[in-house]
Amino acid sequence: MVIAKLIDNVWATRKADNMNGLKLMLAEITGGRKNGEQIVVCDVIGAGIGDRVIVASGTAARQALGDNSIPIDSAVIGIIDDSCKPV
Amino acid sequence: MVIAKLIDNVWATRKADNMNGLKLMLAEITGGRKNGEQIVVCDVIGAGIGDRVIVASGTAARQALGDNSIPIDSAVIGIIDDSCKPV
Amino acid sequence: MVIAKLIDNVWATRKADNMNGLKLMLAEITGGRKNGEQIVVCDVIGAGIGDRVIVASGTAARQALGDNSIPIDSAVIGIIDDSCKPV
Amino acid sequence: MVIAKLIDNVWATRKADNMNGLKLMLAEITGGRKNGEQIVVCDVIGAGIGDRVIVASGTAARQALGDNSIPIDSAVIGIIDDSCKPV
Amino acid sequence: MVIAKLIDNVWATRKADNMNGLKLMLAEITGGRKNGEQIVVCDVIGAGIGDRVIVASGTAARQALGDNSIPIDSAVIGIIDDSCKPV
């Protein structure tokens, strides 16, 4: 997984089947050599812009949604506690 | 997922089984550290050259096509709304 | 797999289902061109901060936990012996 | 997928089970930020040195071979038409 | 797949279940833009330090071991013939 900061919402009216109602957000990886790499993530745990989150990729992302048929490859799996020092 | 801009069509007369009729396009990742990385993506939602799209990879790409036996690893899963500010 | 050093704990009170009780840690890849890349890993073999570990990704990470439904994509699969020279 | 140019054959007399008779080639990614990255790919559609090809990775590569038990992670899935302008 | 040179053994007394007896080695990718990237690979075909090998990742690595429950994501699938010119 990687640590990323949620920086924006992503809106796509035309999209693949099974994606209606999914919340997509733009995240930027923070810390280490990948700092600044941007990814689009799916959120189902109530994260918001500005949150530092843990992002999982691949099959893990679909496990987080509980439905392997949804065509996404990246999802928020945790919101890092504020007390956790920034990386 | 990543955000990319569709920049060209890709034509391959000789190809693997199960790929007849698939639309392949060249996309360039926009924003962040991967800016400018090029990938070939499959589109089934009617995207065109110039569109900013969301691209999913791996098994998610085949979920977007609804057929896991097609040998592709990257697909357009959404067209970003024009009202969404460029990344 | 990659070799990484565990550098911190990661705390996330709000997280995806199936993740309660999982120990998450921040690791930094050591050696080679990816030196300094940071990843969040799950540990079930008792590793601690400062340990040099072997990290597996993707499905392999969930195999290490023995439960493919857990939404993680990276796990510690071994603690490198102290007698093994640093990379 | 990525676009790559086939630059050489790769010969390995000692190899894993299920790989007898497979044609392996060295490919170099062309275009974009990954330009010059080298990968070993499996070809079953009759591509040759000098061809510009589309390469799929992961499970997609094994789908191209029609046998998920073969331990390869990269395969040629299309030969780009000569009329398609170089990327 | 990638071409890498085996440069050392990796010893881990404490490790995940299902990994007893597995031979782990440190490999360094050779050639192209990833030259010098280090990975830990599993070997079951009798490769040794100094050998140039083909390394497969993900599910393919577990196929090479013939057991998808082993938590590894990278394995040697072939030893490149000496007659094959260095990349």
Chain segment C27-77, per-residue pLDDT in tens: 999 988 899 999 999 999 999 999 999 999 999 999 999 999 999 999 999
Residues of E in contact with D62 (CB under 8 A): 59-60
pLDDT at D83: 85
Select from D12, D17, D35 the Cβ nearest to the Cβ of E54.
Answer: D12
Q: Could you report the per-residue pLDDT of D18-67, keeping only the tens digit for each?
A: 899 999 999 999 988 899 999 999 999 999 999 999 999 999 999 999 99
pLDDT at A12: 97
Select from D59, D77, D85 the Cβ nearest to the Cβ of B15.
Answer: D77
pLDDT at B33: 87
pLDDT at D44: 96
pLDDT at D33: 87
Q: Which chains touch C (3 or more CB pairs under 8 A)?
A: A, E
Query: What sign does the CA torsion over B61, B63, B69, B70 have?
Result: negative
Residues of B in contact with D45 (CB under 8 A): 14-16
Q: Rounded CA gap, B49 and B35, in Å?
A: 18
Model ipTM? 0.95
End-to-end alpha carbon distance in chain D? 14
Q: What is the mean pLDDT of residues E26-49?
A: 95
Chain E interface, mutation test: which of C23, C77, C79, C84, most E Cβ atoms within 10 Å?
A: C77
Cross-chain Cβ contact C1/E41 below 8 Å = yes
CB A62 within 8 A of CB C73: no
Q: Rounded CA gap, C56 and C62, in Å?
A: 9
Q: Rounded CA gap, B24 and B41, in Å?
A: 6
Instruction: Indicate the SS3 state at residue D54.
Output: strand
CB D52 within 8 A of CB D27: no
The nearest CA of chain D is from the CA of E61 a distance in Å of: 6
Cross-chain Cβ contact E40/C54 below 8 Å = yes
Q: Which chains touch D (3 or more CB pairs under 8 A)?
A: B, E
Select from A36, A40, A58 the Cβ nearest to the Cβ of B2.
Answer: A40
Percent above pLDDT 90 for chain A: 86
Instruction: Indicate the SS3 state at residue A61.
Output: helix
The nearest CA of chain C is from the CA of A13 a distance in Å of: 26
Q: What are phi and psi of D56, to 5 degrees?
A: -105, 150
Residues of C in contact with A79 (CB under 8 A): 12-15
Q: What is the mean pLDDT of residues C2-10?
A: 97
pLDDT at A86: 66
For E11-28, letters b (16+ CB in 10 Å) and e give ebeebbebbeebebbbbb
Q: What is the mean pLDDT of residues E43-53?
A: 97
Which uninterrupted H or E stretch holds A2?
strand A2-9
Taken in order of first residue, the domains within chain A and their CATH numbers are 2-12+21-79 (2.40.50.220)
Q: What are phi and psi of E77, to 5 degrees?
A: -115, -5
Residues of C in contact with E69 (CB under 8 A): 63
pLDDT at C84: 78
pLDDT at D32: 86
Q: Could you report the per-residue pLDDT of A12-54, keeping only the tens digit for each?
A: 999 998 899 999 999 999 988 899 999 999 999 999 999 999 9
CB E59 within 8 A of CB C21: no
Residues of A in contact with C9 (CB under 8 A): 84
Nearest to D61 by CA among D35, D79, D39, D41: D41
Q: What is the mean pLDDT of residues E39-55?
A: 98
The nearest CA of chain A is from the CA of B15 a distance in Å of: 24
Task: Assign A72 a pLDDT band (cuts: 50, 70, 90).
Answer: very high
Side chain identity at residue C19, one-letter code: M
Q: Could you report the per-residue pLDDT of B28-73, keeping only the tens digit for each?
A: 999 888 999 999 999 999 999 999 999 999 999 999 999 999 999 9
For E40-79, letters b (16+ CB in 10 Å) and e give bbbbebebeeebbbbbbbbbbbbbbbeeeebbbbbbbbbb
CB D1 within 8 A of CB B41: yes
**pLDDT > 70? residue A87:** no
Tokens representing B7 are: 């920049």
Name residues whose C-beta falls within 8 Å of residue C63's C-beta, 6 or more positions apart in sequence: E18, E68, E69, E70, E71
Task: Assign B85 a pLDDT band (cuts: 50, 70, 90).
Answer: confident
Nearest to D17 by CA among E84, E47, E63: E63
Select from E54, E61, E76 the Cβ nearest to the Cβ of D40.
Answer: E54
pLDDT at E85: 73
Of residues C31 and E86, which shows the higher confidence score? C31
pLDDT at B87: 56
CB atoms within 10 A of CB D67: 11
For B23-51, letters b (16+ CB in 10 Å) and e give ebbbbbbbbbbbbebbbbbbbebebeeeb
Measured CA to CA in angstroms, residue B80 lies from C37, D29, E10 at distances of 30, 28, 46
Strands (DSSP E) along chain E, which ranges? 2-9, 14-15, 23-29, 38-43, 52-57, 74-79
For C40-60, letters b (16+ CB in 10 Å) and e give bbbbebebeeebbbbbbbbbb
**pLDDT > 90? residue B84:** no
At CB < 8 Å, which residues of chain A contact C?
1-3, 31-34, 44-47, 54, 56-61, 63-64, 66, 75-81, 83-85, 87
Cross-chain Cβ contact D78/B16 below 8 Å = yes
Q: What is the mean pLDDT of chain A?
A: 95
Residues of B in contact with D87 (CB under 8 A): 8, 26, 38
Q: Rounded CA gap, E4 and E34, in Å?
A: 10
pLDDT at D64: 96
Task: Assign B86 a pLDDT band (cuts: 50, 70, 90).
Answer: low
